[in-house]
Amino acid sequence: MLLQVVCLFIPLIAAIFMPFLFKKIRNIHTGWFVLFVPLFLAIYYATFVPSISKGETAVVQFDWIPSLGISFVSYIDGLSLLFSLLISGIGALVVLYSIFYLNRKKEQLHNFYIYLLIFMSAMLGVVQSDNMITLYLFWELTSISSFLLIGYWYNRDKSRFGALKSMMITVAGGMMMLGGFVLLSLMGGTFSIRSIIEQAPLFATNDTFVIALVLILLGAFTKSAQFPFYIWLPDAMEAPTPVSAYLHSATMVKAGIYLVARFTPVFALSEVWIWLVAGIGLLTLFWGSFFAVKQTDLKGILAFSTVSQLGLIMSLLGVGAIAYHVNDAADTVFKYASFAAIFHLINHATFKGSLFMIAGIVDHETGTRDIRKLGGLMSIMPVSFTVALIGSFSMAGLPPFNGFLSKEMFLTAMLSVTEFDLFNFSTWAPLFPIIAWVASVFTFVYSFYFVFKTFTGKLQENELPTKPHEAPIGMLISPVILASLVVTIFFIPNLVTDTFVKPAVMAIQPFLYSSPEDVHIHVSAWHGFSPELWMTLGIIVVGLLLFVTLSKWQKYYNTLPEQFTLNRLYDFTVNELLGSWMTRFSGLYMTGSIRNYLGYMFTAIPIIVIATLFIKNAFVVSFEGASPIHLYQIILIFVLVIGTITTVYARSRITSIIALGAVGYTVSLFFVIFNAPDLALTQLVIETISVALFLLAFYHLPKFQKVEERTRFKFGRVFISVGVGVMVTLVALSAHSQKLVTSIAEYYKETVYSLAGGGNIVNVILVDYRGFDTLFEIAVLAIAGIAIYGMIKLRMSRKEKNHESK
């Protein structure tokens, strides 16, 4: 059944054909061709449902880099099947919606559908990969395709800003996640998530365990828009609405949820995991719902609401991890948490997808998404209103919609936290249900705010850019299907939970349940007068109260100054810290002055070399085998030193040049007394030529700057040059004092005549023993000669050309 792996790539393969279809078949909207892909995938994955819901799994492996243990593994269990169905199912609905949303003639549809198909592949890969490296691969592919989709209208500034922001944040998190994966694979010796889960109990004592945990959580939190990384999601609303509906409500933002759920069996034993996942999730839930009421843009409300709902699911997963720490977890209340998380995930995908589509319809038919201009659309757009009402009520957690069921379970799970007494939970646990309740109240308020401010009240027809009317029927199909799902799930929740949720819960808590039937949870709309019910009643009463008085207190949001928001922090980081501060910092040392760069080099080299010399105990001075010093040598050294000092201290440059010549000739005299006639000859001629060239350069110095001036004394420079001198001296002394191998000169002496037929060892070495070097030295000479020729001649020819053009 290789098909299972091939299916991951079907959207990618289909993407290749999109430009041809778009260019060649102009009369049919390209989306119709695309529609087949998610439809096929949805039907294909639906065939897995019977076996997976019994608790079986399906694994197919395709080796990619076997030597490194990297392979494409399509591992389908309850969790990944649920996500795959969401991706392909909602994918199909979104494609259908986009066919009517995007204009065939005005939009670059081939781009849009290519990005969308890449995204679909990537997302399927994320949820089905069992190999952590390929999981990371697909993960980054979702970031990239999401970047492209958000920036789809690339000639708008805001689109580009939003695309870049989401890219920066999610890719940064993805990198962290890769680090976590690598640490995990080092601990477990494999990239396979299944085998990591099997070995998980052994890891808890490992030093890097918590680091891996935090890194992977960073990846999940950035992708799932958790606090404080949620800031990219509201800006990503610049994308076309089908993209927002698909990526930023139903699929991509749930990749982080998937990751947390998938790795719960590995990390749930850690206290840090529970605190972080539950705590951050709850904070995000509150933060998102609190600020959603502030928004005036329809999609802005939905973005914050998505943030908040994701926080809700995340906190449930965190509480679900507690089940690993209590005995007989299958019989306690903690079993509800993971169940509720998965259940709410399904519900959220249905109602949020439909709400986004409605926001798109409103935008499309009225020309604006500004809630202050909207109102009174109820009678004009009755279908949209109905769908929006269903979606919003479900989001608020009202019966008879599926949001009610999962909201009840959420409250149950949060109340259960108070019974947990490990890890200092007894101190803080009472906060959990309180925050959850307050956040739910705000959720209620923004859900009502969204639907009633848009559809009821007075129609401000002159404020709207276009005359409002009901959307075409094609555009309404998808939201209506989703909305009917919202209602259906309320009435037959147990069919859905038995088929999808229980196998997924089994994947999250494999140590607790051996088959989906072991999950003894029965969802019912009516469960007696429990505390949850009273809390829900409280939410409704307080929420209604707040909604009615909304106009009185909404303005107080703006008392929180703009400077303290997280967007300000992001802007500061990107523009100030990475932008101008870094430029200023590199400006500090990248001065452009060669003198400075030489300073860095010549400071670093002596420090490194001298430090190494003494740390490694390599400094030795021994005069064993040194030759006696003759009077000639002393005289020559004296001349040499005088020449050198004159070169440095001379007042005029010409003195320096002459002194340098003197140094060169003295060196050739040294060659003479040290028995190197060839060197002496060459040195003599070369010194003459180079002094002549120096004089030439001196002669051509520009007149106006030819101020004769002694080299200025600077302590820093003297210090550096003394350092370099000391370094060379110390190294030379040490190198001379300890010879590890004997010289090979004896061999040359013995064989110079017998093997090479010569008498002058130096020359024979140059042309025979090591002629290779000589060959390339003359090549260097040739290059230098041609370079000088080129520099001078080409400059002249340019001058001539300029002359002609005048």
Task: Provide the minimum distance between the beta carbon of 758 and another protein in the complex, in angstroms, as a whole number.
Answer: 4
Binding mask 718-757 for another protein (x = CB under 8 A): --------------------------------------xx
**Would you count residue 774 as binding another protein (CB under 8 A)?**
yes
Cβ at position 797, least distance to another protein in Å: 12
Q: Is 644 in the site for another protein (CB under 8 A)?
A: no
The enclosing H or E element of 133 equals helix 132-150
Kindly indicate which of the ranges 133-141, 509-517, 607-615, 678-686 contains the residues binding another protein, using the contact rule CB under 8 A. 678-686
Question: Do residues 352 and 305 touch, judged by C-beta distance below 8 A?
Answer: yes
Per CB under 8 A, contacts with another protein among 347-366 are none
- Nearest CA-CA partner of 450 in 527, 520, 396: 396
From 43-51, 518-526, 661-669, 762-770, span contacting another protein (CB under 8 A): 762-770
Q: Binding pattern to another protein, positions 684-723, x when CB under 8 A?
A: -xx-xx---x--x---------------------------
On whether the CB atoms of residues 219 and 256 are closer than 8 A, the answer is yes
Q: Does 673 bind another protein (CB under 8 A)?
A: no
Q: What does residue 740 show for φ and ψ, rounded to 5 degrees?
A: -85, -35
Name which of 548 and 788 has its Cβ closer to another protein. 788
Q: Which residues contact 305 (CB under 8 A, 6 or more apart)?
A: 288, 289, 292, 352, 395, 443, 446, 447, 450
Q: What tokens does 93 get?
A: 């609905």
Residue 786 in the binding site for another protein (CB under 8 A):
yes
Q: How many residues bind another protein (CB under 8 A)?
A: 37
**Any idea what DSSP says for residue 626?**
P
Cα separation, 424 vs 271, whole angstroms: 10
The conformation of residue 191, written as its DSSP 8-state character, comes to S
Of 789, 794, 798, 800, which one interacts with another protein (CB under 8 A)? Answer: 789
**CA angle, 620 then 624 then 629, to 5°:** 110
Candidate residues 620, 673, 722, 782; the one interacting with another protein per rule CB under 8 A: 782
Asked if 778 touches another protein (CB under 8 A), the answer is: yes
Q: CB of residue 778 vs another protein: minimum separation in angstroms?
A: 4
Q: Quote the least distance from Cβ 757 to another protein, whole Å.
A: 4
Contact range with another protein by CB under 8 A, out of 171-179, 189-197, 335-343, 792-800: 792-800
Q: What span, in angstroms and rounded, lies between the C-alpha atoms of 333 and 415?
A: 9
Q: What count of Cα atoms within 13 Å lies in the side-chain half-sphere of residue 73?
A: 23
Out of 597, 771, 798, 801, the only residue in the binding site for another protein (CB under 8 A) is 771
764 touches another protein by CB under 8 A: yes
Q: How far is CA 741 from the centre of its chain?
A: 53
Written as one letter, the residue type at 325 is: H
Pairwise CA distance, residues 224 & 229, whole Å: 8
Contact between 276 and another protein (CB under 8 A)? no
- Name the residue nearer to another protein (CB basis): 154 or 789: 789
In the block, which residue shows the tokens 């072991």? Answer: 518
Give the side-chain half-sphere CA count within 13 A for 60.
Answer: 10
| One residue of 465, 594, 772, 804 binding another protein per CB under 8 A | 772
Both structure tokens of 198: 């099997």
State the Cα–Cα distance between residues 526 and 650, nearest whole angstrom. Answer: 102
- Closer by beta carbon to another protein, 592 or else 759: 759
Q: Which of 2, 65, 492, 681 binds another protein (CB under 8 A)?
A: 681
Task: Please name every residue paired with 74 in a beta bridge, in sequence order, or none if there are none.
Answer: 60, 129
From 93-101, 442-450, 674-682, 712-720, give the range in contact with another protein by CB under 8 A.
674-682
Find the shortest distance in angstroms from Cβ 772 to another protein.
Answer: 6
| Phi, psi values for residue 513, rounded to 5° | -125, 140
Q: Least Å distance between CB 679 and another protein?
A: 9
Tell me the three state secondary structure of residue 409: helix
* Cβ atoms of 637 and 758 closer than 8 Å: no
Site residues (vs another protein, CB under 8 A): 677-678, 681-682, 685-686, 688-689, 693, 696, 756-760, 762-764, 766-768, 771-772, 774-775, 778-779, 781-782, 784-786, 788-789, 792-793, 796
